[in-house]
């Protein structure tokens, strides 16, 4: 079944995972509509990253189901889900530090196209991949650093590169786990601009875990709130911001709208 604007692209039903006796994600049911941006918020330890791991297939749930375009993908591996269009950022673990910025993105394009890493066999495709890589670097505002080895980038630039690598894989759905984590204040607006650009392209569904409330309020079409593994709210940003329950669980507990 294909997703239309009336059908969710992702749906989870009673999704649960237990570690020992503790339910890190506890009977969560929610839907994500295609081409929208949904943020997942919640206090530390609420289960946000675990929820992402369940969606992308890194973890298998102890209960419940995950659907992609109406198809039950609960038992599919992470690589299978990736092939179906789910793209997940991995907090810098997928960057080759000694390769240049452009090479990092080009390799992701080659992987997507199934060219492998044999440059010579696919020599004719090589410059097309480079052109595409450069174009993606422009989209994430990193084109000026295309010739830098990845390990010489600042932390914020590496997060941009990570996003470029993810974009190069052309996923239909992007899972972004705290793209501004560990960044200096000056680096945050660039990431915000990149997210706005990706969103305005209108061809991606985005799930975002992020702690910066101001950023989430302006970017999100909807916000889901987790607390102790449970979904306590899922609505439009303004409703979430006004919710007493959310304020008590989260906003009052540290995060402020700046």
Between 27 and 100, CB nearer to ligand ATP: 27
What span, in angstroms and rounded, lies between the C-alpha atoms of 174 and 153?
Answer: 23
**CB of 237 vs ligand ATP, minimal distance in Å:** 19
List for the chain the helix, strand, coil content (%; round to 5).
40, 25, 35
Between 28 and 95, CB nearer to ligand ATP: 28
**Per-residue mark of binding to ligand ATP, 198-217 (x: CB under 6 A):** --------------------
As a dihedral over the C-alpha atoms of residue 58, residue 82, residue 199, residue 97, rounded to 10 degrees, the angle is 80
What span, in angstroms and rounded, lies between the C-alpha atoms of 69 and 202?
Answer: 18
List binders of ligand ATP among 38-97 (CB under 6 A). Answer: 42, 44-50
Site for ligand ATP contains 24 (CB under 6 A)? yes
Between 102 and 249, CB nearer to ligand ATP: 249
The structure tokens listed for 253 are 């507990």
**Helix, strand counts (H, E) of the chain:** 9, 10
Contact 24, 64 (CB under 8 A): no
The structure tokens listed for 199 are 């969103």
**CB of 48 vs ligand ATP, minimal distance in Å:** 4
Size of the site for ligand ATP (CB under 6 A): 10
Between 49 and 56, CB nearer to ligand ATP: 49
Site for ligand ATP contains 189 (CB under 6 A)? no
Residue ranges binding ligand ATP (CB under 6 A) = 19, 24, 42, 44-50
């Amino acid at each position: 079944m294909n997703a239309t604007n009336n059908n969710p692209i992702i749906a989870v039903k009673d999704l649960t995972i237990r570690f020992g006796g503790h339910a890190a994600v506890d009977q969560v049911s929610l839907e994500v509509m295609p081409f929208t941006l949904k943020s997942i918020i919640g206090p530390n330890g609420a289960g946000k990253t675990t929820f992402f791991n369940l969606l992308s297939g890194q973890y298998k749930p102890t209960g419940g189901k995950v659907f992609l375009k109406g198809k039950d993908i609960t038992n599919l591996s992470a690589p299978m889900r990736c092939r179906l269009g789910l793209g997940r950022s991995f907090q810098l673990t997928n960057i080759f530090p000694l390769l240049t910025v452009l090479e990092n993105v080009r390799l992701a394009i080659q992987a997507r196209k199934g060219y492998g890493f044999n440059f010579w066999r696919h020599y004719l495709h090589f410059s097309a991949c480079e052109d595409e890589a450069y174009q993606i670097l422009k989209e994430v505002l990193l084109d000026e650093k295309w010739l830098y080895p990845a390990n010489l980038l600042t932390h914020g630039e590496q997060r941009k590169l990570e996003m470029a690598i993810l974009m190069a894989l052309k996923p239909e759905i992007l899972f972004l786990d705290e793209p501004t984590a560990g960044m200096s204040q000056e680096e945050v607006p660039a990431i915000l601009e990149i997210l706005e650009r990706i969103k305005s392209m209108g061809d991606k569904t985005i799930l975002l875990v992020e702690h910066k409330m101001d950023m989430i309020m302006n970017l999100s079409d909807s916000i889901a709130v987790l607390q102790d593994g449970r979904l306590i709210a899922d609505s439009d940003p303004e409703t979430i911001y006004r919710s007493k329950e959310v304020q008590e669980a989260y906003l009052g507990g540290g995060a402020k709208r700046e």
